[in-house]
Structure 1
Amino acid sequence: MSLWLFILIQFAVLAYAFVGGVFLAFSDFIMRSLAKTSGVEGVQAMQVINREVFRWVFMTLFLGLVPISLIIVGYTATHLDGPVSVFMAVAGLTYLFGCFGVTLLFNVPMNETLAGMELDGSATHDYWTQTYVPLWTFWNTVRTLACAVSSALLLCGLALEATAC
Structure 2
Amino acid sequence: MSYWLLLLVQFSIVAYALVGGVFLAFSDFIMRSLALTSGKGGIEAMQSINRQVFRWVFMTLFLGMAPVSLVLAGIAWANLNTPGASLLLVSGVLYLAGCLTVTIVCNVPMNERLAALKASDKDACTYWTGTYLPRWTFWNTVRTSACILAAGLQTAGLVSLVTA
Aligned residues: 164
Structure 2 equivalent of residue 7 of structure 1:
7
Structure 2 CA distance for aligned equivalents of residues 76 and 133 of structure 1: 38
| Distance in 1 of aligned mates of 2:32 and 2:81 | 44
Q: CA deviation at 1:76?
A: 1.2
CA drift at 1:2: 1.4
The alignment's TM-score, normalised by the length of structure 2, stands at 0.98
Q: Distance between the aligned counterparts of 2:87 and 2:143, measured in 1? A: 18
4+ residue segments displaced more than 6 Å: none
Q: Alignment RMSD, CA only?
A: 0.8
| Whole-Å separation in 2 of the counterparts to 1:116 and 1:128 | 12
Structure 1: segments with no counterpart, 5+ residues: none
Return the letter of the residue paired with 1:60.
Answer: T
1:161: Cα distance to partner? Answer: 1.1
TM-score where L is the length of structure 1: 0.97
Does the aligned pair in 1 maintain the 2:83–2:161 contact within 8 Å?
no
In the alignment, the residues of structure 2 paired with residue 57 and residue 160 of structure 1 have an alpha-carbon distance, to the nearest angstrom, of: 30
Unaligned runs of 5+ in 2: none
Matched ranges for 1:69-80 at <5 A: 69-80=69-80
Q: Distance in 2 between matches of 1:162 and 1:2?
A: 11
What fraction of aligned residue pairs are identical, expressed as a percent?
57
Q: Using the alignment, how far apart are the partners of 1:108 and 1:2 within structure 2?
A: 37
Equivalent residue number for residue 120 of structure 1: 120
